Structure 1
Amino acid sequence: MVQWQGKRVWLIGASSGIGLACAKALHAAGANVIISARDLGVVSVWAEQSQQQGQALTLLPLDVTDALQVRYVMRQVAALGPLDMVLYCAGHYRAHRATEFDLTDMLRHQEVNYNGLLRVLDAALPVLLQQGFGHVSVVSSVAGWRGLPNGLAYGPTKAAVTHLAETMYMDLQDKGIGVSLINPGFVATPLTAQNNFQMPALMSPEDAAKAMLQGWAEGLFDIHFPKRFTLWLKLLRLLPYRMYFALVRRFTGL
């Protein structure tokens, strides 16, 4: 996907961070971006500025934990015309360790990060399959590659998202539907701002959005960044548990 002019993108989860930066990048590239988020406060300010410049945006409030609302918003999206991409950026993150197990927060991660995606796919896939083209892109995380300290709640949901995207790719490749998986490292967002440790290779949301557009332009399934960090993590995935656990403990102190 190189040419975005006139393409219609439904972006879920753009209230801040990567989602908002990506919405701006796609809009600047000429895409018709339909933005859904639980909190449209910051997005509304940007949308009003764009409107004043003659560049209209479509904003549709959405809580991905509400199945009825997801289906309702999908009908609104479909009424606007053919859909070229569904981009799921909605996410919830809190640092979580087994020594302070919090079931409510564990389930909140699951409801937003994974079940929310399932609700969107339930509504969107029939539309994409009927029109015979389109693309599904989901934001996962390198935190889902292997277990990490503080990732007790977040990591497993992202591992599930990754597995889901891999399977969807194989199921949909002969149906005209593309699938891509976004695996960011540390990006400076309100979610990562709560981390009380040094985050290696920390990048801006704007740079993350550029990497995503570059990955789509190259036709990649696995779009991960920044490479100087993620390639090392890919190598760590190959290590046996004894070595992996020892290295993580050594470098994190946890």
Structure 2
Amino acid sequence: MFAPLNQPIENWTAQRIWLIGASSGIGAALAQQALAAGAAVILSARRQTQLEIVAQRHPNAMILPFDVLDTAAWQRGYADIIAQLGGVDLVIFCAADYRPERSWEVDPATAAQTLQINLGSVYTGLATILPDLIARGSGGIGLIASVAGYMGLPNATVYGPSKAAMINLAEILYADLHPKGLNVYLINPGFVKTHLTAKNDFTMPALQTPEQAATAIWQGISSGKFEIHFPRRFTQTLKLLQLLPYRWRFNLLSTFVKTS
């Protein structure tokens, strides 16, 4: 009854991990920790120079730069992985875009691009890799969503809905893929100090470093958790806030907007 929802991972040296969005922030920190643990890690993002910096001095790193919005590049990249490593055991979708904006500030073209990066590219990646993972009956998928997907939060007018959709998608993937032998991880960070959160002009509670975030994620995956959320002192508060009637929740959120 209380067994982990996913199969725990004990031997990281046997893992081939593909990190999508590994040039900075959480993705880069995940890559560095996985490489240090002995895993074979494929690092993908648009910026090849940044990927090379992350991968330096690690012979077990494979650099695979591409744009997640380029559908054909997914197929070419995965073919390269098959040729060099024979496949993947774990894919984590880290790529994301964010800009703080209220509903009346949204630009349709920019919003469409954010949704395509944060969510649409995940579907492209899943279509690329899932046939092989399902045929093999093993492997794992990790989606980095956000606590911004728990509820409608101020300034997350486009980012929040994209992350709410990823939470929903992770639940669907688990229901579909767990019976086929695959692991699915839903990763919901709180505030993490990255170039994206640097755009915020308010005090971010329980702000963590990318290294702290990566440690929490690898610990959660190692122990077989489905939802990995952190820091818990902050995320548990938001989970409680979710349970409040809308009238109370809206009043609390309006107070936050006035003080931020």
Which TM bucket (shorter chain)?
Answer: over 0.9
Deviations 1:193-232 (A, max 9, x none): 1100000000000000000011012211000000010000
Cα shift readout 1:9-37 (whole Å, capped 9, x = no counterpart): 01100110000000001111110001111
Equivalent residue for 1:37?
A: 45
Q: Are the counterparts in 1 of residues 35 and 60 from structure 2 also a CA contact under 8 Å? A: no
Match of 1:26 in 2: 34
Superposed CA offset, 1:60-119 (max 9, x none): 111111111111111112222132101110101111211212111111111100000000
RMSD across aligned C-alpha pairs, in angstroms?
A: 1.1
1:42 deviation in Å?
Answer: 2.0
Cross-structure match for 1:90 = 95
**Does structure 1 residue 230 correspond to structure 2 residue 235?**
yes
2-structure distance, mates of 1:154, 1:124:
25
2:16 corresponds to 1:8: yes
Residue 14 of structure 1: SS of its match in structure 2? coil
Q: 8 Å contact 1:10–1:77 — kept in the other structure?
A: no
AA of the residue aligned to 1:50: R
Could you tell me which runs of 5 or more consecutive residues in structure 2 were left unpaired when the two chains were aligned: 1-8
Aligned-pair identity in percent equals 47
> What TM-score comes out, normalization by structure 1 length?
0.95
- Which residue of the partner structure matches residue 50 of structure 1? 57
**Are the counterparts in 2 of residues 162 and 181 from structure 1 also a CA contact under 8 Å?**
yes
The number of residue pairs the alignment matches comes to: 250
> What SS does structure 2 have at the residue aligned with 1:94?
coil
Q: Name the CA distance, whole Å, in 2 between partners of 1:148 and 1:84.
A: 34
Aligned equivalents of 1:227 and 1:162: distance in 2? 17
- 1:136 match: 141
Q: Secondary structure of 2:188's match?
A: strand
**Distance in 1 separating the partners of 2:97 and 2:218:** 23
Say which SS state the counterpart of residue 5 (structure 1) adopts: helix
Partners of 2:224 and 2:57 in 1: CA distance: 29
- List runs of 5+ in structure 1 lacking aligned partners: none
Q: Equivalents in 2 of 1:92, 1:46: separation in Å?
A: 20
- Give the TM-score normalised by the residue count of structure 2: 0.93
